[in-house]
């Protein structure tokens, strides 16, 4: 009798604990959704007034309303670059909020990888030149086509290459696409199972490198490691965002680095089936 009683009590207790847990979870979920919504709304509201600030500062800097003293020009330059920094911080936060609330809908379209890499080249080559470093793009001899989300792929590579340029003072940055496995069309013709191929988008630099202790923290939100005197105007969100996007693409970002010996960041997509047209 006693045993049965305690078994019943146990079950009732367990049930009420389970219910309490479920209620707690529902509460947490609601709170987390409210936080995501708040972040998204705030980011949007914060971005809107920045546009006229940046725009009108630009007009003043073009000396359209009239000449400027050197001091005024310097001050306007500071307003403009601070506003731009704020804008990129807000844009990154907005992206992050979207990813966290599961609102990022990735597409799966045929993407010509060469075009994406060439677009990254086109937007950042001038930046590399301005810093006096070489930029090299290496592509396989035939095109590489892959079903994926072009925007996400572009954003990840843009982040990695922009970082490589920022943290390199001498030498150069290389963006390279390496393929392994057979192209899909070959296996199709030969009636073989679809290939488990692999694509490596490798960004290597001859820059400042990263301390081994910092490597683990690198992908956290707001991680800024290394020499704090290096003012790069970054937000510490780029790698965090890139890693989340890589995950959404079914891939990962690997990093190898040596302080003073440069870094290599690789976006690895695997298993993946790619074709040449």
Q: Compute the least distance from the CB of residue 225 to ligand ADP, in Å.
A: 4
Quick one: which segment of 21-29, 120-128, 193-201, 218-226 binds ligand ADP (CB under 6 A)? 218-226
* Beta pairing partners, 72: none
d(C-alpha 84, C-alpha 61), whole Å: 15
Q: For ligand ADP, which is the closer residue by CB, 127 or 224?
A: 224
| Binding status of residue 140 toward ligand ADP by CB under 6 A | no
Q: For ligand ADP, which is the closer residue by CB, 4 or 229?
A: 229
Quick one: which segment of 57-65, 121-129, 131-139, 222-230 binds ligand ADP (CB under 6 A)? 222-230
| Binding status of residue 99 toward ligand ADP by CB under 6 A | no
Residue with the CB atom nearest ligand ADP in the bound state? 234
161 touches 199 (CB < 8 A): no
If we measure between CA atoms, which residue out of 15, 83, 75, 22 comes closest to residue 47?
83
Which 3 state secondary structure label does DSSP give 27? Answer: helix
179 touches 197 (CB < 8 A): yes
109 touches 153 (CB < 8 A): no
d(C-alpha 17, C-alpha 13), whole Å: 6
233 touches 81 (CB < 8 A): yes
Torsion-angle region of residue 209: left (phi > 0), alpha (psi -120 to 50) or beta? left
Residue from 207, 244, 249, 269 in contact with ligand ADP (CB under 6 A): 207
Element (H, E) at 110: strand 109-112
Q: Is the peptide bond preceding residue 222 cis, with omega within 30 degrees of 0?
A: no
Q: For ligand ADP, which is the closer residue by CB, 61 or 223?
A: 223
| Binding status of residue 238 toward ligand ADP by CB under 6 A | yes
Q: Compute the least distance from the CB of residue 233 to ligand ADP, in Å.
A: 8
Kindly state the tokens that stand for 102. Answer: 């599961």
| Binding status of residue 226 toward ligand ADP by CB under 6 A | yes
| Binding status of residue 202 toward ligand ADP by CB under 6 A | no
Q: For ligand ADP, which is the closer residue by CB, 142 or 232?
A: 232
Q: Compute the least distance from the CB of residue 237 to ligand ADP, in Å.
A: 6
Residue from 82, 224, 273, 276 in contact with ligand ADP (CB under 6 A): 224
Interface residues with ligand ADP (CB under 6 A) are 159, 163-164, 167, 205, 207-208, 210, 218, 223-226, 232, 234-240, 263
């Amino acid at each position: 009798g006693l045993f049965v009683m305690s078994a019943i009590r146990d079950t009732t207790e367990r049930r009420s604990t389970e219910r309490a847990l479920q209620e707690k979870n529902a509460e947490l979920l609601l709170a987390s959704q409210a936080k995501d919504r708040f972040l998204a709304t705030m980011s949007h509201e914060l971005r809107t007034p920045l546009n006229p600030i940046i725009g009108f500062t630009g007009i003043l800097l073009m000396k359209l309303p009239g000449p400027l003293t050197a001091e005024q020009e310097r001050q306007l330059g500071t307003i403009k670059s601070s506003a731009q920094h704020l804008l990129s911080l807000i844009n990154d936060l907005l992206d992050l909020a979207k990813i966290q609330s599961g609102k990022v809908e990735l597409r799966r379209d045929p993407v010509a990888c060469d075009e994406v890499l060439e677009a990254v080249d086109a937007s950042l080559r001038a930046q590399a030149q301005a810093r006096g470093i070489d930029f090299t793009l290496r592509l396989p001899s035939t095109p590489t086509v892959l079903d994926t989300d072009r925007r996400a792929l572009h954003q990840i590579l843009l982040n990695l290459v922009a970082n490589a340029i920022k943290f390199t003072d001498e030498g150069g940055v290389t963006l390279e696409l390496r393929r392994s496995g057979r192209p899909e069309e070959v296996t199709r013709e030969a009636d073989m199972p679809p290939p488990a191929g692999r694509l490596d988008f490798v960004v290597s630099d001859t820059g400042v490198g990263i301390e081994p202790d910092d490597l683990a923290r690198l992908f956290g939100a707001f991680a800024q490691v290394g020499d704090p005197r290096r003012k790069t105007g970054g937000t510490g969100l780029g790698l965090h965002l890139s890693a989340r996007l890589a995950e959404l693409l079914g891939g990962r970002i690997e990093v190898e680095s040596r302080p003073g010996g440069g870094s290599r960041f690789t976006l690895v997509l695997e298993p993946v089936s790619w074709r040449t047209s």
